[in-house]
Chains A and B, each alone.
Chain A
Amino acid sequence: MYSASDLRKGLKVQIEGSPYIVTEFEFSKPGKGQALYRCKMRNMISGNQLVKTYRSNDKFEKAELDERKMQFLYNQGEEFHFMDTENFEQLSLTREQMGDNVNFLLENMEVVVLFFSGRPIDISIPIFVNLLVTRADPWAKGDTSGNDTKPVTVQTGYVLQVPPFVEEGDKIQIDTRTGEYVTRVKE
């Protein structure tokens, strides 16, 4: 069981028998008032949106999903192909089903494919991934624009904010739950 305080982007819950993934989440709490958990959720089967505000005493069932370790092969347009490395069975998922995970996916990466009633509906990737910086503007020392971060592009095409010392060719660790920079990785 989850309670409302567990709600966050990416959490998978079960509502009236269907698995939902939280796609947008906002915590709010008016002065002296109670905590409110405002969620946008996507039905992982039908794709339908659900917008709802919960209170702290609300409870949720965990989505009942089966897991299988698979390898990411390649993507072709909107389709992402995976293979079971034991029996070589292949399957594909759409970009919409993959959500933000597409930002961190590299060919040959080991992932967990999630199934609901036998159908693949999502994947789960490591919390931390290391990706190569393929584009970064040099940092002008003495920059007085007041910016403490700068944007870089990593090998998947994903763009994120990093500290100014990160350079092209560096490997950086990213927290896939938030999509944010964690640290620079020494090889």
Chain B
Amino acid sequence: MLGLSGLHRRAALLRLVRRFFEDEGFLEVDTPVRLPLAIPERHIKLIEAEGQYLQASPELCMKRLLARGCTPIFQIGRCFRKGERGRRHLEEFTMIEWYRSDCDYRQLMADCRALCRYLQREWPQDPRRVESTGLRSIFPSIDVHGEWQGMTVAEAFARYSPRPLSAALHEDCFDELLCEYVEPHLGQGCPTFLYDYPRALASLSRPKPGDPQLAERFELYIGGVELANGFSELNDDVEQRQRFAEEIKAIHAAGGTEMEMPEVFLDDLRHLPEAAGIALGIDRLAMIAFDAPDISQVVPFTPEDFPTLSP
């Protein structure tokens, strides 16, 4: 549970993030969090509400807006994912998601750099902010102004994992090796972009031109923490339908609900311009900015602040 200065910190960070995107010319949108449709993704468990879904991210609505010519846009909002609770996870959490047209994932990496540098530069500028939060500066242990690191997924596995990427995929232990051996090394000292994911791990990303086994997807890591996931958007509705069908099948095979094909989304996808979009965890950003090792230290309330006798 946050006290007054913790609430001031969170509010100050949200205000700065919002101001950055407004200054960059983005339009803020606020789309519904409860929808009759959802994007099927095999490893995201949805929370249902009265026969509908609470959004796992605002992706569906924001891409529909993008297809109607609304660009660049951003949204700060609540997202819901069932069963996710840990030092870096909450079932209900806050994300900022943004989309731009006529660019690819490299532009999003430039946005990430500009955002972090803006936050670090602006924070100490306002004496009232410094006083109300008790913090003179943010990002205490990370150099965001210097050079940032970039590494492909294959390079990172070759460098840090006991098994190379091809073996990790073949032996179905990609996630375990990534968590155990790779992630702790990323974003130490300066932020790291991990990019060019195997296509099977990027259901909504565009394949990389010249290497169709890879997708133009990246993750931003700071201090070993995965902070943002972005990609060049797939706008081929035929291929997207095929990939969704595979996800729906996998969810059903794992004992999940029978999900519907999101037809309106696929219809709109035909009109999607060349574009790129990214989601960045606000609570994780607050953890890094304020050097908090646990997500519970940066949100006003956690589920554990309402203790019950049920185990």
A binds B: yes
Using known A-B contacts A33-B175, A33-B201, determine if residue A127 contacts B309 with beta carbons closer than 8 Å: yes
* Chain B residues, Cβ within 8 Å of A38: 179
Known interface pairs A29-B43, A146-B134; 6 further A-B residue pairs with C-beta atoms within 8 A, sorted by A's residue number: A30-B175, A31-B229, A32-B202, A35-B84, A145-B134, A148-B5
Contact residues of A between 133 and 187, Cβ < 8 Å to B: 144-149, 163-164, 175, 178, 180, 182
**Majority secondary structure, A binding face:** loop
Asked if A146 contacts B175 (CB within 8 A), the reply is no
Asked if A29 contacts B6 (CB within 8 A), the reply is no
CB distance from A178 to the nearest CB of B (A): 6
Asked if A53 contacts B89 (CB within 8 A), the reply is no
Interface residue? A57 (CB, 8 A): yes
Interface residue? B120 (CB, 8 A): no
In this complex, how many residues of chain B approach chain A with their Cβ under 8 Å: the count is 37
Contact residues of B between 194 and 229, Cβ < 8 Å to A: 201-203, 219, 226, 229
Interface residue? A90 (CB, 8 A): no
* Chain A residues, Cβ within 8 Å of B65: none
Interface of A with B (CB < 8 Å)?
5, 26-36, 38, 53, 56-57, 127-128, 144-149, 163-164, 175, 178, 180, 182
Using known A-B contacts A56-B83, A128-B307, determine if residue A147 contacts B5 with beta carbons closer than 8 Å: yes
The 8 A CB mask of B125-138 against A (1 = contact, 0 = none) is 00000010111000
Interface of B with A (CB < 8 Å)?
1-6, 9, 41, 43, 83-89, 131, 133-135, 174-176, 178-180, 183, 201-203, 219, 226, 229, 254, 304, 307, 309
Which of B3, B87, B174, B304 lies in contact with A149, CB distance below 8 A? B3
Which of B5, B85, B135, B178 lies in contact with A33, CB distance below 8 A? B178
Between A and B, 9 residue pairs with Cβ closer than 8 Å are A30-B226, A32-B202, A38-B179, A57-B254, A144-B5, A147-B5, A148-B5, A175-B307, A178-B304
Q: Report which residue of A26, A30, A31, A33 has the largest number of chain B beta carbons within 10 angstroms of its beta carbon.
A: A31
Closest 6 CB pairs of A and B: A146-B134, A148-B3, A27-B86, A33-B175, A31-B229, A146-B5
Asked if B131 contacts A34 (CB within 8 A), the reply is no
Asked if A27 contacts B84 (CB within 8 A), the reply is yes
Which of A32, A164, A182 lies in contact with B43, CB distance below 8 A? A32
* Chain A residues, Cβ within 8 Å of B179: 28, 30, 36, 38, 53
Using known A-B contacts A53-B176, A128-B307, A145-B134, determine if residue A31 contacts B226 with beta carbons closer than 8 Å: yes
Which of A31, A56, A57, A163 lies in contact with B3, CB distance below 8 A? A163
Asked if A146 contacts B135 (CB within 8 A), the reply is yes
Asked if B84 contacts A144 (CB within 8 A), the reply is no
